[in-house]
Amino acid sequence: MSGITLEDARALLADPNLITVGGLGDDERRHLHGARTTFVRVLDVHAGAVPAALPASAQPGEVRLTGRAPIDAAVASVEAALALAGAIPVSAYSLADLVELGGGSTSELAGVLRALAAAGLRTIAEAPLDLLPDPAAAIRAAHDAGLAVPRLTVHRVPDGGPVELLSKARAVQAAAGGIRAFAPLARVSSVAQPSTGYDDVRFIAVARLVVDNIASIQVDWSLYGPKLAQFALTVGADDIDGVSPLEGDLGRRRSPLEEIRGNIKAAGLEPFERDGLFALLGQ
């Protein structure tokens, strides 16, 4: 774990000196990636409302199918999303929702995953670490069905604490493999104990140090906003998810593409756009 123990990680999370903690995360990030920072423009499409065509101004690197649906509707939505996307990579569904769709049974989950793969799906959108009873087993089931699971996410930080969550992420990668990016910041904040931006960037730094067997630490641009995302890049994150694919009507210099590139460069880093398969675009 980059030379740190879980006790070290707890001490870093309790350290009030964000500069010191962030510097350690940044050192590890630069050791792994140098100045290279990747980002992906994502078009979110709800399973119940897949459009017939892409928005005129959309230039996504990934079409991501979201929401829940019974298996027949889920399969039909995958087929519609693939037709919509054309050559653009498609990812679909939360692995936790698919486990629930299978009634919590491993054999039923395998059937759900095979049906989605038969419809042409190749990538599950996310595996929420804290919502899966056995994340490694669920990811292995996806792999057995021919489906990649490149993103490990967190729905809400559990009562067990953040360090235990990071240790679990590392163990899941060791047991199942195939994870390309870990997004450690919770997608849902605790009402009783909401995190602050200060807590979030420190957690990014410690995640980079602890979860040393997952290549990229990811932050969500749409969920956490440009300022926090930019700060996260200076303390350990190297991949930005959820950049808008819509160019809008404010002119190219104010488009999401130019904004993300400008923010990455302002952090002293080099921007590289990728697609949903983690392949660099325009290279």
| Confidence check: pLDDT of 60 > 70 | yes
User: What tens digit of pLDDT does each residue of 102-153 get?
Assistant: 888 777 899 999 999 999 999 999 999 999 999 999 999 999 999 999 999 9
pLDDT band at 59 (very low <50, low <70, confident <90, very high): very high
- Distance in angstroms (rounded) separating the CA atoms of residues 90 and 95: 15
The answer to whether the CB of 217 falls within 8 A of the CB of 204 is yes
Homologous superfamily, domain 6-273 = Aldolase class I (3.20.20.70)
The closest alpha carbon to 40, from 88, 108, 109, belongs to 88
- Distance in angstroms (rounded) separating the CA atoms of residues 163 and 166: 5
What mean pLDDT is predicted for residues 45-68? 94
Rounded to 5 degrees, what angle do the CA atoms 45, 51, 52 make? 145
- Burial level of 266, CB count in 10 A (0-12/13-18/19+)? exposed
- Distance in angstroms (rounded) separating the CA atoms of residues 149 and 180: 8
User: What tens digit of pLDDT does each residue of 213-240 get?
Assistant: 999 999 999 888 888 899 999 999 999 9
Whole-prediction pTM? 0.92
The closest alpha carbon to 264, from 73, 36, 78, 61, belongs to 36
Tokens representing residue 93 in the block: 């569904």
What mean pLDDT is predicted for residues 21-34? 96
